Chains A and B, each alone.
Chain A
């Protein structure tokens, strides 16, 4: 059972470079999410997709874009990376966009921007 798979696991970028973080799930999730985790800050929502074909901003969307490519895949793009985007990024999915539908997380992508 793959669950929620994120690639890559680690990435180092120079300031100004771009990259796309990939996320794929095989759990039939309708909703998918991107979070960032920073020391002392907990998890903060960047973007989410309540259903295929829709995307919405979360708490900290600036500097990011997302694409819900199909039901399985939800990518996060950094167009021009900045040191403030150094973080651990988590993708998550849920069956429906509801309080009663728990989130299933991937294992994270550790990104360093120098």
Chain B
């Protein structure tokens, strides 16, 4: 079935470091791709999305590019801050509403001052 694979965490970086969180998906059709972020004690919130190949989603300094050839949607940020510490979820949508939304297991990001 449809799946999303994320790098295992926790990922620990120093402030101002470059961030990459890898995400790959199974290539069934042409899914829409998403990154959600969960701050401590809160629910998930949409960070960015891309709906077709070569689209780039961006928000709050984060970017991710829909790469059909490598079935990837890696999340990047040039200079992380302590406030970026959170759990990041990659997700794909295949159709039919949220019952078609498949989440990865999440990557816990810790940014140290």
Residues of A whose CB lies within 8 Å of any CB of B are 4, 31, 33, 40-45, 48, 50, 56, 58-59, 90, 92, 94, 97-100, 102-108
Contact = CB atoms under 8 A, between A and B. Distances in A.
A107 B41 CA distance: 7
Nearest to A102: B46
7 contacts: A31-B97, A31-B98, A40-B105, A90-B44, A97-B97, A97-B98, A104-B45
A99 B43 contact: no
Contacts of B46: 102-103
B41 A99 contact: no
Interface string B48-64: 01010000000000000
A106 B43 contact: yes
Contacts of B100: 99
Contacts of B97: 31, 48, 50, 97-99
**B contact residues, range:** 20 to 34
B89 A43 contact: yes
Given A43-B103, A102-B49, A103-B98, 16 more contacts: A31-B97, A33-B98, A42-B103, A44-B103, A45-B98, A48-B97, A48-B99, A59-B99, A90-B43, A99-B51, A99-B100, A99-B101, A105-B44, A105-B45, A107-B41, A108-B43
Nearest to B6: A42
